[in-house]
Structure 1
Amino acid sequence: MKKLGILFFGFALLLTGCQEDQGYYLSGSVEGMEDGKKVYISERDETTRSLKAIDTTTIENGKFKIDMEDTDLPGLSFLQFEGVNGNVVFISENERINFDINKDSLRNAKITGGKENEALKEYLDHLKELNEKMLGLQQKIRQAAIDRNSEELNNIRGAKAELIDNDKNYKEELYKRNTDSYVGVMLLTDMLNMKSHSAPEVKDMFAELSDRLKKTPLAKSLEENLDNNLAVEVGSKAPTFTAPNPDGEQLSLNENLGKVTVVDFWAAWCKPCRIENPNLVKTYNKYKDQGLNIISVSLDRPGQKDRWIKAIEEDNLEQWSHVSNLKFWNEPVAKKYQVKAIPATFILDENGVIVAKNLRGDALADKIGELLN
């Protein structure tokens, strides 16, 4: 009986050895590429944000295959091909993933295998459809503007607003089905970056994400961005900062708070900012004696201090404080305030609490008047 037991055990091992690898395995067919060309499996470098190859295989008889080392967590990965521009996006997971690829249409590659990549396909298909509809509406808006058809223009804008609202609802529904999927993290990241959802909304949804997914680098980065965004939400204490003024002297926010303080982000090269500046001057002149203070933070480029100072003089902005590290979009103060576009304004009360943001023209003046009176 002992010998029989050993035989059964040996037969079980034999069966196990004959089974296909159920881990992270890639295979596919490639049309239009020569045999011998390399296929690179790449990931995005978190530091440089560029793609780096982590493994490679070659095309043989129009096909490729590679048994990858199993991954602890899913992540965004890319197939790149020797001598070919572009890449194929997929999610690494411990499944057999198959690709059907055409050299001239990498973005339309067909990917099968694994629940992560099924969810990714659903999301990418939605984004493609959304983009096509949005481009169509933009063309109609331009034509209606040329025709000066205000009724048609309003109808199209209403359709655009409905499309945006439907997109928001769809992403929320898709997320509910993917709280344990890497696509769930991608959805939350897009919601925050595209500002379709507020930081508090995304924070609440992030809490529903599985503990496993919260360990991914993308989720950790998202959580950090959420904390930074929440720090500049209305009702939060404004981030403190110290930065050099045009004379090179350090100026701090805390030492320059008025009854109401506007932190204004702009740049000499920013045309919308320069157009808005006269409104800012008008508002300042109206309320400066009642306690309004302005600190303008410039996102001008390195080596262009002269352009910054000239713009201050040309737009009559010398009346209030100005600071800049002249680091363009890497301006440290702008990063603290999560500024991704300018002009941007933050209105603070006498305690440095953000009470409103991104108001311009009459809306800005009215809010300041309301706070001071």
Structure 2
Amino acid sequence: MKLFSNTLLVLLCLLGTVAQAQNTTLTGQIKGLSGTTVKINTNNNGVFKADSVKVINDVFTWKTNLTGPQLISLVIENHSYSYFIGPGHSKLTGTKEASEAYKLTGSPMQDDAKAFGEFIKDLTDQEAFLSTAYGKASAQEKEELNKKREALKTKKKARANQFIADHPKSFFSIYLIAGRTSYGYAEVKPLYDKLDESAKRTEAGKKLSQTLETLKKSLIGNQMADFIQADTSGKQVKLSSFRGKYVLVDFWASWCGPCRAENPNVLKAYNAYKDKGFTVVGISLDDKAANWKKAIRDDKMPWTQLSDLKGWKNEVSTSYGIEGIPSNLLIDPTGKIVAKDLRGEMLESKLKQLLK
């Protein structure tokens, strides 16, 4: 699982896409909040906006134009609450003393989100128990707890799959599927196929379909298209200039801790196989040249490093649907993808198999 991901941003942009903006009203009736201010944070079709409204006589009203159902954040007395709302009228009710019991009505997507939460509550309760136990556990106990955590993740994914199958027309099902895009085409496509045609025809459904087409490019067996980016000296370098070798196209960034932790493994594999027909081409998702170059020096990476310094909008990473890092693609001497996301000893093991 990738620890640094752009999935949330992709999700919010995806959910905020329909043909045209429609009027949206959120009314709040929270007993005990008079005289306070409620802050509302939104991401409408990729445009982030912070708004605020005064609470008068325990009531506030917020009006805006949303282009579709989306996740918003309400900040009430320094506490943040997330809800799904969409075009139309939604109402939030409750009391200041029982904020955990706030209730949102008028939002079908929020209703589905609540239903999903109840559907997996037994698993999330177990996760909470394990997290508490983890803080007090010995090293040996933590190893066992990690196994149980992974087993719970697998169960949660299976429950989500079942929810999607049972709610093929739900906008929330699209949200759940979009949250899995960092796992790749093979995992997402079967879930997308479970959606009803009415869901696929929404703008969010169409956006998800486009994302799938992008993810498809990184399937094992596909040819990796040529690309060109600048190295640390500013020289433009083409991927095709490495034809004839196995090439690990490695997506990383200086600010990504898991990437930096993985670099010694890549370096070890590079040193072992650099004279046997293997090399590495790093693609950095940095946006500051100084930080990028310093990390290369600090981690002692001698291979070719490329970047357009556009951060998450790096043209190579976006064209292959890379939404989480570290990530990599291993291509053969003809440019065909033969493996992906090789970590730790997996990289050396694969190279040993290929470069006998």
TM tier relative to shorter chain: 0.7 to 0.9
Counterpart amino acid of 2:268?
A: K
The question of 1:177 aligning with 2:204 is answered: no
- How far has the Cα of 1:52 moved from its partner? 6.7
Give 3-state SS (helix, strand or coil) of 2:167's partner: coil
Confirm or deny: 8 A CA contact 2:70 2:86 kept in the other structure: yes
Instruction: From 89, 97, 117, give the equivalent of 2:83.
Output: 89
Matches within 5 A, 1:255-270: 255-270=241-256
TM-score (norm 1): 0.73
More displaced stretch, 73-82 vs 234-243: 73-82
**Counterpart position of 2:270:** 284
Confirm or deny: 8 A CA contact 1:87 1:106 kept in the other structure: no
* Larger Cα-atom Rg: 1
- How far has the Cα of 1:170 moved from its partner? 1.2
Matches within 5 A, 1:25-64: 29-34=29-34, 44-50=43-49, 62=58
Higher strand share: 2
More displaced stretch, 166-175 vs 84-93: 84-93
Q: For each residue in 1:266-316, what CA deviation from the matched residue of structure 2 results, as whole angstroms up to 9, or x when unmatched?
A: 344445444443433332233233311221223334241xx5445444544
The question of 1:165 aligning with 2:149 is answered: no
Instruction: From 211, 220, 231, give the equivalent of 1:225.
Output: 211
- How far has the Cα of 1:80 moved from its partner? 5.5
The question of 1:365 aligning with 2:326 is answered: no
Confirm or deny: 8 A CA contact 1:260 1:291 kept in the other structure: yes
**Counterpart position of 2:130:** 137
Confirm or deny: 8 A CA contact 2:40 2:50 kept in the other structure: no
Give 3-state SS (helix, strand or coil) of 1:99's partner: strand
Same amino acid, percent of matched pairs: 27
> How many residue pairs align between the two structures?
334
Quickly say closer, same or farther: Cα 1:160–1:245, change in 2 above 3 A. same
Matches within 5 A, 1:235-250: 235-250=221-236
**Counterpart position of 1:6:** none
- How far has the Cα of 1:126 moved from its partner? 5.1
Counterpart amino acid of 2:301?
A: L
Quickly say closer, same or farther: Cα 1:350–1:204, change in 2 above 3 A. same
**Counterpart position of 1:356:** 339
Instruction: From 287, 291, 315, give the equivalent of 1:332.
Output: 315
Counterpart amino acid of 2:44?
A: D
- How far has the Cα of 1:242 moved from its partner? 0.7
Q: For each residue in 1:180-238, what CA deviation from the matched residue of structure 2 results, as whole angstroms up to 9, or x when unmatched?
A: 12112112112335x4xx42332232233233323434323322222222221322322
Counterpart amino acid of 1:34?
A: S
- How far has the Cα of 1:245 moved from its partner? 1.0
- CA separation in 2, counterparts of 1:130 and 1:89? 21
Give 3-state SS (helix, strand or coil) of 1:359's partner: coil
Quickly say closer, same or farther: Cα 1:179–1:51, change in 2 above 3 A. farther
**Counterpart position of 1:156:** 145
- CA separation in 1, counterparts of 2:273 and 2:148? 40
Q: For each residue in 1:251-271, what CA deviation from the matched residue of structure 2 results, as whole angstroms up to 9, or x when unmatched?
A: 011222333111122344445
**Counterpart position of 1:317:** 301
- CA separation in 1, counterparts of 2:269 and 2:218? 23
Quickly say closer, same or farther: Cα 1:372–1:93, change in 2 above 3 A. same
Quickly say closer, same or farther: Cα 1:142–1:336, change in 2 above 3 A. farther
The question of 1:109 aligning with 2:102 is answered: yes
Counterpart amino acid of 2:34?
A: E
- CA separation in 2, counterparts of 1:112 and 1:308? 48
Give 3-state SS (helix, strand or coil) of 1:346's partner: strand
- How far has the Cα of 1:109 moved from its partner? 1.7
TM-score (norm 2): 0.76
Confirm or deny: 8 A CA contact 2:284 2:292 kept in the other structure: yes
The question of 1:253 aligning with 2:236 is answered: no
RMSD between aligned alpha carbons? 3.8
Quickly say closer, same or farther: Cα 1:66–1:159, change in 2 above 3 A. closer
Confirm or deny: 8 A CA contact 1:261 1:347 kept in the other structure: yes
The gaps in structure 2 that reach 5 residues or longer are 1-23
Confirm or deny: 8 A CA contact 1:41 1:77 kept in the other structure: no
Quickly say closer, same or farther: Cα 1:120–1:371, change in 2 above 3 A. same
- CA separation in 2, counterparts of 1:308 and 1:294? 16
Counterpart amino acid of 1:31?
A: K
- CA separation in 2, counterparts of 1:297 and 1:272? 15
- CA separation in 1, counterparts of 2:152 and 2:256? 30
The gaps in structure 1 that reach 5 residues or longer are 1-23
Confirm or deny: 8 A CA contact 1:84 1:103 kept in the other structure: no
- CA separation in 2, counterparts of 1:314 and 1:88? 40
